[in-house]
Amino acid sequence: MRHAARWIEALALGVALLISGCATLGGPAQSEAPADWQARQQALGAIASFGLEGRVSARGPVSGSANLLWNQRDADYSLRLSGPFGAGAVLIEGTQEQATIRHKDQTLVTRDPEATLRSQLGWTLPVDKLRWWILGLPAPNAPAQTQFDAQARLRNLTQAGWTVNYEEYRTAPALAPVFDLPRRLSLTQGELSVRVLVDQWEPGT
Q: Does some domain include residue 5?
A: no
Question: Could you read off the pLDDT of 82-115 as tens digits, one per residue?
Answer: 976 656 789 999 998 999 999 888 999 999 999 9
Q: Does some domain include residue 66?
A: yes
17-30 burial string, b = 16+ CB within 10 Å, else e?
A: eeebbeeebeeeee
How much is the pLDDT for 8? 32
Sign of torsion over alpha carbons 175, 200, 130, 171 = negative
Question: Could you read off the pLDDT of 131-146 as tens digits, one per residue?
Answer: 999 999 999 989 999 9
Q: Does some domain include residue 18?
A: no
What is the rounded average pLDDT of the residues 58-67? Answer: 88
- 175 closest CA partner among 40, 32, 36, 3: 40
How much is the pLDDT for 86? 54
How much is the pLDDT for 202? 92
- Pair 42, 30: CB distance under 8 Å: no
Q: Does some domain include residue 14?
A: no
Give me the chain's average pLDDT, please.
84
pTM of the shown model: 0.83
Q: Does some domain include residue 197?
A: yes
- Number of domains composing the chain: 1
Residue 52 half-sphere exposure, CB side, CA atoms within 13 Å?
27
How much is the pLDDT for 123? 85
How much is the pLDDT for 27? 59
Question: Could you read off the pLDDT of 13-57 as tens digits, one per residue?
Answer: 333 333 344 445 555 667 788 889 999 999 999 999 999 999 999
Q: Does some domain include residue 22?
A: no
Q: Does some domain include residue 3?
A: no
How much is the pLDDT for 26? 53
- Pair 87, 73: CB distance under 8 Å: no
Question: Which residue range forms the structural domain that includes residue 183?
Answer: 35-203
DSSP 3-state of 185:
strand
How much is the pLDDT for 85? 66
Q: Does some domain include residue 8?
A: no
CATH number at residue 148: 2.50.20.10
Looking at the chain, the whole-number percentage of residues with pLDDT higher than 70 is: 83
How much is the pLDDT for 19? 38
